[in-house]
Structure 1
Amino acid sequence: MRPLHRLATATVALAWVLFLPYEAVSYARLPAGDTGDAGDAEDAASAEPFGAECRIRVDDSDVTAHCHNPYPQVDHVRLHIECADWWDLDSDGPAVPAGPAQTVRLDGRCWKEVRSAWVSHARGS
């Protein structure tokens, strides 16, 4: 009975690895001299690398995020905090523009404990 149990566990693990979505994105570039049509230009603009890299630190009830934008396009970042207690209000911070090669700091807190914290991104002009 044990070998069947191990085989079933290995099969389930393999299925998880094969069928979970792959998060990596490859960025397509137009070859030099190829201007493409209007639809291709929009696709290339949306395929440009984008998004500040953010590091979030939670100390008791305080949350701090540092976001660095290495790309030439402005990234509007927002800190979202979900508090652990039902009576403690969750918060969504204001959008802060992170310009090219700029690092911004986002702060927030809960009254007691933090359940989760994350940063959202939006393209800016």
Structure 2
Amino acid sequence: MRTLRRLAVMVLALIAGLAPPAAVARTGTEREPFGAACRTYVHGSRATVSCHNPYAVSDSVQLHIECERWWDPDVDTEPAEAGPAETVEMTGRCWMEIRRAWVTHHRSGT
């Protein structure tokens, strides 16, 4: 009786599409986690970013600064390589106020 009950439950689970996790096939399209965690600090006319990469894939990070005044040139730092378990820091400035600052990420080697 117990065997019939277990069989019935398994058949119902298969019909409902609730296959056990071990039966789920991987498609191979999953990508490794990527992207350093960055914190941006703006103080007056200076912006600093600190990026820590906790992943095994290197991350190329770059700080971009948009200045408030039209005559003040915007700033793009050189890309910095944040390897696995590394922290990088970049700084840039405007002559006057900063409108906004942000960081872009690129997979290294691509």
State the TM bucket, normalised to the shorter chain. Answer: 0.7 to 0.9
- For 1:78 and 1:55, the matched residues in 2 are separated by 12
Residue segments in structure 2 that go unaligned for 5+ positions in a row: 1-20
The structure with the largest alpha-carbon Rg is: 2
The CA RMSD over aligned residues, in Å, is 1.8
Match of 1:114 among 98, 101, 107: 98
Return the TM-score normalized by structure 2. Answer: 0.74
Q: Residue in 2 aligned with 1:58? A: 42
Runs of 4+ in 1 over 3 A off after TM superposition: none
- For 1:82 and 1:98, the matched residues in 2 are separated by 23
Return the TM-score normalized by structure 1. Answer: 0.65
- For 2:30 and 2:41, the matched residues in 1 are separated by 34
Residue segments in structure 1 that go unaligned for 5+ positions in a row: 1-30
Q: Percent identity?
A: 52
Match of 1:97 among 81, 94, 105: 81
Q: Residue in 1 aligned with 2:67? A: 83
Is 1:44 the counterpart of 2:30? The answer is yes
Q: Which has the higher relative contact order, 1 or 2, with Cα contacts under 8 A spaced 6 or more apart?
A: 2
Task: Return the structure number with greater helix share.
Answer: 1
- For 2:63 and 2:25, the matched residues in 1 are separated by 38
